[in-house]
């Protein structure tokens, strides 16, 4: 009999490989063949091939993350949390051997929600929304950057170089502008589609693209795209639930007919009716703005600034921009000056944000922010959208403040801009051009500083994802000596409960130069515990954290002065702690070493030797001998 398995935990460092080791050891005892695919910190390893899946008699999924279960359609599959793979591998293998594991329906075709023999831990609603939003933003970001750069370069040939009716017309600039424009037109559909895909998998992706095109066609902007993404995703989930009792023979029909047709009908019509009134609203806002053109510069600047930064290319922004272009035709160059300033600020603000707060942004964000200096300078506001979409409730007001400051200053300085686009390229024809640039820079810097402060706050509280890149070069680690020194072993550490123990371990790590921030490391430990207890069996716990406070990869071995409750797999109190410290973004050989350490915990002889050791030298030698 051939069994295959897939393991994975949220951090992909310890539990993933402990489950692999436990399953392999149990299969070896029973004389069975098993291949275990791991979804760890360094990605998928020992990947299952199509042949492996086709030849398998059963599948064990021991994971707390998506391991693409749909590929196992038609196989006997037992799907449990990763801790079950560690604690009870014999029962999981028995379910396959005895053929009591249920047969998974045609998930690879229909995209049905995976069915499990065990109840999986539920993901919080807030975290689910965040994950879906980030899925959309991460897929949208390259489109915004690539399309924006193409358009910006086309402007270098002249503001109207892509217009065949202009004297500035340039064929190459036309190609660049057209390609960039097509790329930018995909921004909202891609955002919508991949938000929906994160919620409802492939069926959600299909409906999401269509709903996203409706949002784009009706000019709802990226905010409309976000609404459309969640609408499409949850409509598909609703359809999957409503049609769950149809005979299995109709699974193919659901995938290629029922989900697409009903999904488009329900989500498409809903999105259309939500976005259709935008034209009437636009006209109303334009009339309102036209009436404000001769009012107090402070009021006009605040209104224009807030509108331009509110949805960046959406209906509110468009109302301000179209009003400005209409007034240009009437010879009013004053109104457009404030509109242009307000539109230029958001992308520049993101550039200043990553410049001022470069320690708190990941490499992808920093790259996008620096590119936004170019996009903003050429009046391409959309470059700021990926930053705003991550946390619109906080970032949009910050950008609106900066845009309002720039617009107010522009109007107070009586700047006039006779061109509807181009950014700083049109400076030669701007009245009081230096003052205009100064107003824009002031607004951008204010927003950039506030964004950097907000990012620092998030970073400090460890609420950002582990993809934030560090500014240090990851160390090369290949042996246990690289992560465990004798001084990293502490005996009789105090603590009356788990939280106190973790705080004391973080404090000791700070003293030993392993970490730079005790509080950030402690919060990192707590964040991992919230995803699932790190308490194993036989009195062992393996807390671990990956964050920017970690200076070097390390393993600390700690014995406790008294046992504490750790919500362990076997319900027993914890007496020994193996704490792992991983630098953010430093995935390297050290992950393999730490994973090898974790695998030891499924071997009773190792645990017995560890618990009987009474001095640091014995403990140190035990790890050196067992791991190497």
Catalytic residues: 9
What is the Cα–Cα distance from 433 to 273, expressed in whole angstroms? 43
What is the Cα–Cα distance from 128 to 195, expressed in whole angstroms? 10
Distances (CA, A) of 277 to 9, 140, 542: 45, 26, 56
Question: Closest Cα to residue 584, out of 534, 508, 524, 509?
Answer: 524
What is the Cα–Cα distance from 86 to 535, expressed in whole angstroms? 11
The alpha-helical segments, DSSP class H, found in 297-391 are 297-311, 315-329, 334-356, 363-377, 385-390
The alpha-helical segments, DSSP class H, found in 433-588 are 433-460, 498-511, 518-531
> Three-state DSSP class for 517?
coil
What is the Cα–Cα distance from 246 to 239, expressed in whole angstroms? 12
Pairing mode, strands 554-564 and 574-583: antiparallel
- Per-position DSSP letters for 53-117, written without gaps between them: HHH-SEEEEEESS---GGGGTTSBEEEE-HHHHHH-HHHHHHHHHTT-SPBP-SHHHH-PPPP-S
> 572, 541 in Cβ contact below 8 A?
no
CA Rg value for the chain: 29
What is the Cα–Cα distance from 595 to 13, expressed in whole angstroms? 6
Residues composing the chain: 628
Q: How does 423-433 read in b/e, with b if 16+ C-beta sit within 10 Å?
A: bbbbeeebebb
> Degrees (nearest 5) of the Cα angle 235, 241, 242?
85
What is the Cα–Cα distance from 326 to 342, expressed in whole angstroms? 17
CB atoms within 10 A of CB 435: 16
DSSP 8-state class, residue 416: B
Pairing mode, strands 43-45 and 33-40: antiparallel
Question: Closest Cα to residue 180, out of 205, 204, 152?
Answer: 152
User: Hey, which residues does 349 pair with through a beta bridge?
Assistant: none
The secondary structure element, H or E, covering residue 560 is strand 554-564
């Amino acid at each position: 009999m051939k069994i295959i398995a897939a393991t994975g935990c949220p951090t992909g460092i310890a539990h993933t490989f402990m489950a692999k080791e436990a399953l392999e050891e149990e299969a070896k005892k029973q004389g069975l063949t098993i291949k275990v695919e791991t979804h760890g910190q360094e990605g998928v390893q020992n990947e299952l091939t199509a042949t492996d899946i086709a030849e398998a008699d059963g599948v064990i999924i021991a994971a707390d993350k998506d391991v693409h279960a749909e590929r196992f359609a038609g196989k006997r599959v037992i799907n449990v949390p990763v801790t079950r793979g560690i604690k009870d591998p014999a029962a999981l293998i028995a379910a396959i051997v005895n053929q009591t594991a249920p047969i998974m329906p045609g998930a690879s075709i229909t995209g049905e929600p995976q069915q499990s023999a065990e109840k999986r831990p539920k993901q919080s609603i807030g975290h689910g929304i965040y994950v879906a939003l980030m899925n959309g933003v991460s897929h949208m970001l390259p489109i915004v950057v690539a399309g924006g750069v193409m358009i910006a370069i086309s402007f270098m040939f002249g503001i109207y170089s892509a217009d065949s009716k202009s004297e500035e017309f340039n064929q190459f600039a036309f190609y660049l502008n057209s390609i960039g424009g097509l790329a930018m037109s995909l921004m909202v559909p891609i955002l919508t589609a991949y938000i929906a895909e994160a919620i409802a998998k492939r069926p959600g992706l299909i409906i999401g693209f269509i709903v996203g095109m409706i949002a784009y066609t009706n000019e709802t902007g990226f905010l409309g795209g976000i609404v459309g993404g969640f609408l499409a995703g949850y409509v598909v989930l609703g359809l999957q639930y409503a049609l769950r009792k149809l005979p299995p023979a109709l699974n193919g029909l659901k995938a290629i007919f029922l989900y697409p047709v009903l999904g488009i009908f329900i989500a498409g019509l809903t999105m259309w009716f939500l976005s259709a009134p935008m034209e009437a609203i636009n006209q109303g806002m334009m009339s309102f703005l036209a009436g404000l053109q001769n009012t107090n510069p402070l009021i006009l600047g605040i209104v224009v600034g807030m509108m331009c930064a509110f949805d960046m290319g959406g209906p509110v922004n468009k109302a301000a921009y179209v009003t400005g272009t209409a007034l240009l035709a009437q010879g009013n160059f004053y109104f457009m000056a404030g509109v242009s300033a307000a539109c230029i600020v958001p992308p520049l603000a993101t550039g200043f944000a990553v410049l001022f707060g470069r320690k708190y942004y990941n490499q992808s964000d920093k790259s996008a922010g620096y590119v936004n200096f170019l996009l903003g300078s050429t009046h391409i506001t959309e470059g700021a959208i990926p930053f705003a979409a991550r946390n619109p409730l906080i970032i949009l007001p910050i950008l609106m403040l900066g845009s309002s400051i720039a617009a107010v200053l522009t109007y107070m300085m009586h700047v006039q801009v006779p061109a509807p686009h181009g950014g700083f390229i049109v400076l030669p024809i701007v009245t009081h051009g230096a003052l205009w640039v100064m107003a824009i820079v002031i607004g951008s810097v204010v927003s950039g500083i506030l964004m950097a402060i907000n990012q620092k706050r998030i970073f400090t509280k460890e609420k950002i994802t582990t993809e934030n890149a560090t500014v240090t070069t990851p160390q090369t680690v290949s042996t246990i000596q690289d992560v465990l020194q004798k001084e990293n072993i502490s005996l009789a550490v105090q603590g009356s409960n788990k939280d106190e123990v973790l705080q004391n371990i973080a404090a000791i790590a700070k003293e030993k130069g392993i970490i730079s921030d005790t509080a950030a490391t402690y919060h990192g430990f707590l964040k991992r515990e919230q995803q699932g207890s790190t308490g194993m069996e036989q009195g062992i716990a393996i807390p671990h954290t990956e964050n920017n406070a970690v200076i070097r990869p390390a393993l600390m071995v700690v014995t406790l002065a008294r046992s504490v409750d750790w919500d362990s797999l076997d319900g027993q109190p914890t007496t020994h702690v193996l704490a792992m410290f991983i630098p953010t973004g430093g995935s390297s050989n050290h992950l393999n070493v730490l994973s090898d350490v974790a695998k030891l915990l499924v071997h009773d002889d190792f645990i017995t030797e560890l618990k009987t050791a009474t001095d640091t030298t014995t403990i140190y030698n035990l790890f050196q001998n067992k791991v190497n």
